[in-house]
A = this chain, B = another copy of it.
Amino acid sequence: MPPDITSPANDRIKWLARLRDRRHRDVEGLFVIEGKRLYRRALEAGLVPEITFLADPTDIATVGKVLTVDPGALDKASYRRESQGVIGVFHQLNTSLDRLQPAEPPLILIAENVEKPGNLGAMLRTAAAAGADALITVGETLDAHNPNVVRASMGALFNVSLAMSNWDELAPWLDANDIRVVCAAPDASEPLWEARLTGPLALVVGAEDWGLSDRALALADDTVLIPQDTGIVDSLNVSVAAAILLFEARRQRT
């Protein structure tokens, strides 16, 4: 049986290809998950696709409406020109702060002014492994549904609560939830392993080179240093710094 769609000029394929652009994603309220492993993880996390484009229908379990597509045409619509056989279109995730329901005691990562989608994805992956309850971004308006976030998160985007917020909204929320705020700052004097990282906790990291805003530092109950050899290279990558903080917190909380 020939596939439902054979031509890359098909209207549905053109529509799918347009979802590579943030503007189109946001207008439609949709985003795209490519590849079998990530698609499977999205279903496992309970996400329901709006539609699934598939090269080989015997290849993977699907949910909802499915269109079969010639593999070459499917690759054309892919972000990396390599669909790995499946592209699912999903409703965008709800990233509002008021939806968060942290565990008790909460362990939260706050990332300020993170610019690179790959770093956001990597932090989601690390936060999942560290057992953090949520990742909250403030500042730069990153696109959570950028394909590089999806890919770098290895599926953690579907499982770790992600909220995109700002200090005006976040400061009273942290206060209302009695969450201690610990900022990582290059000019702090207390090494992170001497600080108390137990109890309800939010760890705040800033983008490389930038440091944290005055607003972030003003909210800090404590500022800590990740002691490191500097001078040779820049400070640690922000997602690596987040990993060191989260796993030191995990050590103390064990």
Q: Is A97 an interface residue (CB 8 A)?
A: no
Interface string of A116-142 (1 = CB under 8 A from B): 000000100110111100000000000
CB–CB B250/A227 < 8 A: yes
Indicate if A149 sits at the interface (CB-CB under 8 A): no
Q: Is A155 an interface residue (CB 8 A)?
A: yes
Residue of B nearest to A153 (CB): B233
Decide if A122 touches B229 in the complex (CB within 8 Å). Answer: no
Could you tell me the distance between the alpha carbons of A248 and B129 in the complex, rounded to whole angstroms? 17
Residue of B nearest to A234 (CB): B154
Binds B, one of A9-17, A170-178, A235-243: A235-243
Q: Which of A175-219 contact B (CB under 8 A)?
A: 191, 193
Instruction: Give the docked Cα–Cα distance between A1 and B122 (Å).
Output: 48
A136 CB to closest chain B CB (Å) equals 19
Within 8 Å of chain B (Cβ to Cβ): is A226? yes
CB of B191 within 8 A of CB of A229, answer no
Q: Is the CB of B129 within 8 A of A228?
A: yes
B244 and A125 form a contact (CB under 8 A): no
A233 touches B128 (CB 8 A): yes
Asked whether A233 lies within 8 Å of B155 as measured between CB atoms, the reply is yes
* A234–B243 CA distance with the chains assembled, in angstroms: 15
**Shortest Cβ distance from A19 into chain B, in angstroms?**
24
Q: Which of B156, B230, B244, B247 contacts A232 (CB 8 A)?
A: B156
CB distance from A132 to the nearest CB of B (A): 9
Cβ contact within 8 Å between A232 and B126: no
Chain B residues contacting A160 (CB-CB under 8 Å) are 232
Within the assembled complex, what's the spacing in Å between the Cα atoms of A210 and B105? 34
**Complex CA distance for A234 and B122, rounded to whole angstroms:** 12
Evaluate contact between A129 and B159: CB separation under 8 angstroms. no
Q: How far is the CB of A120 from chain B (nearest CB, A)?
A: 14
**11 intermolecular pairs with C-beta atoms under 8 Å apart:** A125-B236, A126-B240, A129-B229, A129-B236, A153-B233, A155-B233, A156-B232, A159-B233, A239-B240, A240-B240, A244-B247
Known: A128-B232, A243-B244. 7 other contacts (CB 8 A): A129-B233, A130-B228, A156-B232, A159-B233, A226-B247, A227-B250, A248-B251
